[in-house]
């Protein structure tokens, strides 16, 4: 199945994403992002150099407005850098068409948001199934993989419930299941505990740590040093620059 997916992706972006994958999943070189509006120029990222190795758990810290979310958006192919190059699995992303970016996002990147971003009109099964639908996976295979993903986050018996019927912690677990169901190369978590109390926050972080132990590459954005401690490596972003790395 993975071969199937990667073959399809190879067709689309011309890069092999598994098998002979490079050690670095993400490589940013001199990436800057400038927002222009009404004569005012805002530099959100300023010559950022960043590499995320396969299997790594990277924590991105920094104050509000430091450029964390912008960085995550660029890594997640939701935005493009103004300058610099961004390679995902060794393939530059600058020349990708919107359709290729959508495909790559679907196959290689999993998102976990602070506010869960589950679709209220879809039940849990359908929410988790969504990325597989866009990937063109067959219904029977989708059912297996969704069941497996929900089992990983401990929500097997709730698959026909709707998001509104779950607690915040449970919703975020569903969001994590949705993020990993395609077995992406990297999971991007943007303040995943921001909307949760400390007990649920702890649970989510443990779940991410468990995924990491199983081999998932994770990039976590947080301003909470307690949760940053889960990461193997931490970078601090202030005013769009990496000012500290540990």
From the CB of residue 118, how many other CB atoms can be counted at a distance below 10 Å?
23
Q: Is 37 in the site for another protein (CB under 8 A)?
A: no
Q: Is 144 in the site for another protein (CB under 8 A)?
A: no
Q: Is 139 in the site for another protein (CB under 8 A)?
A: yes
With CB under 8 A as the rule, give the number of residues binding another protein.
31
- Asked if residues 51 and 30 have their Cβ atoms less than 8 Å apart, the reply is no
Q: Is 76 in the site for another protein (CB under 8 A)?
A: yes
Backbone angles phi, psi at 24, to 5 degrees: -90, 125
- Return the residue of 1, 23, 94, 119 that touches another protein, per CB under 8 A: 119
- Return the residue of 6, 69, 170, 172 that touches another protein, per CB under 8 A: 69
- Return the residue of 43, 47, 55, 134 that touches another protein, per CB under 8 A: 134
Q: Is 143 in the site for another protein (CB under 8 A)?
A: no
Judged by DSSP in three states, 234 sits in: strand
246 contact partners, CB below 8 Å, separation of at least 6: 233, 234
What would the two tokens of residue 105 be? 């996002």
The DSSP bridge pattern shows strands 83-88 and 91-92 to be antiparallel
Rounded Cα–Cα distance for residues 63 and 132 (Å): 35
Residue 46 burial by Cβ neighbours in a 10 Å radius (0-12, 13-18, 19+)? middle
- Return the residue of 49, 133, 206, 246 that touches another protein, per CB under 8 A: 133
From the CB of residue 90, how many other CB atoms can be counted at a distance below 10 Å?
15
- For another protein, the closer of residues 82 and 115 by Cβ is 115
Site string for another protein, 165-204 (x = CB under 8 A): -------------x-----------x--------------
Site string for another protein, 82-111 (x = CB under 8 A): ----------------xx--xx-xxx---x
Interface residues with another protein (CB under 8 A) are 69, 73, 76, 78-79, 98-99, 102-103, 105-107, 111, 113-115, 117-122, 130-131, 133-136, 139, 178, 190
């Amino acid at each position: 199945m993975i071969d199937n997916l990667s073959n399809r992706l190879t067709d689309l972006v011309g890069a092999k994403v598994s098998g002979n994958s490079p050690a670095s999943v993400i490589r940013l070189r001199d990436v800057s992002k400038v927002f222009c509006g009404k004569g005012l120029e805002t530099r959100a990222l300023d010559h950022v150099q960043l590499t995320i190795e396969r299997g790594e758990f990277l924590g991105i810290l920094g104050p509000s407005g430091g450029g964390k979310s912008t960085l995550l958006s660029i890594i997640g192919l939701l935005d493009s850098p103004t300058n610099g190059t961004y390679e995902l699995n060794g393939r530059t992303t600058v020349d990708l068409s919107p359709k290729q970016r959508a495909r790559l996002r679907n196959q290689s990147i999993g998102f976990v948001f602070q506010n869960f971003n589950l679709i209220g009109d879809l039940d849990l099964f359908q929410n988790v199934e969504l990325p597989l639908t866009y990937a063109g996976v067959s219904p029977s295979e989708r059912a297996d993989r969704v069941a497996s993903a929900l089992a990983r986050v401990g929500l097997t018996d709730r698959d026909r419930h709707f998001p509104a019927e779950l607690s915040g912690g449970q919703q975020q677990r569903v969001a994590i299941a949705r993020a990993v169901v395609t077995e992406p190369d990297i999971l991007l978590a943007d303040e995943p505990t921001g909307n949760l109390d400390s007990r649920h926050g702890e649970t989510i972080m443990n779940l991410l740590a468990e995924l990491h132990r199983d081999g998932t590459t994770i990039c976590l954005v947080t301003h909470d040093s307690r949760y940053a401690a889960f990461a193997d490596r931490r970078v601090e972003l202030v005013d769009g620059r990496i000012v500290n790395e540990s």
